[in-house]
Amino acid sequence: MRDLIDDMIGVGVAGFWHVHADDYARETTAHGGTRLVAAWDPHEERAREGARRLGTDHAETLDALLARPDVDAITVTTATNEHTDVIRRAIAAGKHVFTEKLLAPTVAECEELVDAAQRQGVALVVSLPRLSEPLIVTASRLVDDGSLGDVTYARVRMAHDGWLGGWLPERFADPVAAIGGAFSDLGCHPAYLVQRFLGARPDRVTASYGRVTGRTVEDNAVVTARYSNGALGVAEASFVTTPGAFALELRGTEASLLFGFGREELIGKGGRFGDAWTSVPLASDASSPFELWVDAIRGDADTTKNLHAAIDLTRFVVAANTAATTGEATVVDQGGHA
């Protein structure tokens, strides 16, 4: 790796499979410490079109991208089932990695990649963006400081009209490439938020997946998590819902928080909030996952919490997909990284 103390970090785009590829390229361009260098995708036409669209160099192969001395780091937006190979090779080449969720399809692969990054001394960060948004930062602080009492119920819903409006690419319906449907993609966000509020490791997970549009994978999903203290979490995702369908519900022994149930603001009731629903001021944003990554590359940030959350997210999604397939509650593996 080059000395980055005085240099801009050169970033390459690895894959245009995911719809967030261009978003991370824009973050690269907008950040004062990074610059976009080159782009690659295993599909030649998609690679050339993506590089042209971003106005950057086109790398013919992943090896060519990783061999470039001006590429210090890569953003990974390939198909999910390609993450392990791409990230493993990038780490071996000494490149820092920022990746779209999921980190990898299995917990074992996640742990392998995290361990490899630590051994190689490269910064690995997974995009879990909702954790740094003002709404979630505020709700998390209120949970942590005990304002709700003991949280007994958490529900998070994320939905869009991707397959109603026709803008979500059909490749997201490939059960192999996407390792699932709506829950393995959009459902990651409510999953890691439920984990943030109730704990990373529920005891059991149940799941009900629907196929409104008739595709092979689910486009509508509800997953429930039961915790050892009796708390329940509900994570919902849909590709067949009208826009603006984010909802958050947190219920505790002393107070409750709501967002999105016909009122696009965070409101609280009970305890410190009083006997009527009242508006809750939002905190400032925390560092975004991309900013965390750049800081980590510079040696100014610790990625441990991000990586633990990423591994536990895969654990949750694997359990949900298993439960949906078998129709039975899945006992969540409690081993591995803590």
Which pLDDT score is estimated for 202? Answer: 97
User: What is the predicted pLDDT for the residue at 334?
Assistant: 72
Which residue did the predictor score with more confidence, 263 or 304?
304
Domain ranges of the chain: 9-122, 130-288+317-331
Q: Where are the beta strands (DSSP E) in 137-203?
A: 151-159
* Segment 132-149 mean pLDDT: 97
The distance in angstroms from the start CA to the end CA of the chain is: 30
Indicate the pLDDT class of residue 115, thresholds 50, 70 and 90. very high
**Distance separating alpha carbons of residues 7 and 183, to the nearest angstrom:** 40
The architecture of the domain spanning 130-288+317-331 is 2-Layer Sandwich (3.30)
Selection from 132, 8, 126, 122 nearest residue 76 by Cα: 126
pLDDT above 90 for 162: yes
For the segment 36-79, what is each residue's pLDDT rounded down to a tens digit?
999 999 999 999 999 999 999 999 999 999 999 999 999 999 99
Sheet strand arrangement including 330-331: 278-279, 267-269, 256-259, 247-252, 151-159, 232-238, 220-226, 204-210, 330-331
Q: How confident is the model at residue 4 (pLDDT cuts 50, 70, 90)?
A: low
Both tokens of residue 9? 């970090």
Q: How confident is the model at residue 338, as a pLDDT?
A: 47
pLDDT the model gives residue 5: 44
Q: How many CA within 13 A on the CB side of residue 228? A: 7
Q: Is the pLDDT of residue 88 over 80?
A: yes
Write down the pTM of the prediction: 0.95
Query: Band of the pLDDT at 242, cuts 50, 70, 90?
Result: confident
> For the chain, what is the mean pLDDT?
95
pLDDT higher than 60, residue 319 = yes
Fold of 9-122: Rossmann fold (3.40.50)
pLDDT of residue 2: 52
The rounded distance, in Å, linking the Cα atoms of 20 and 23 is: 5
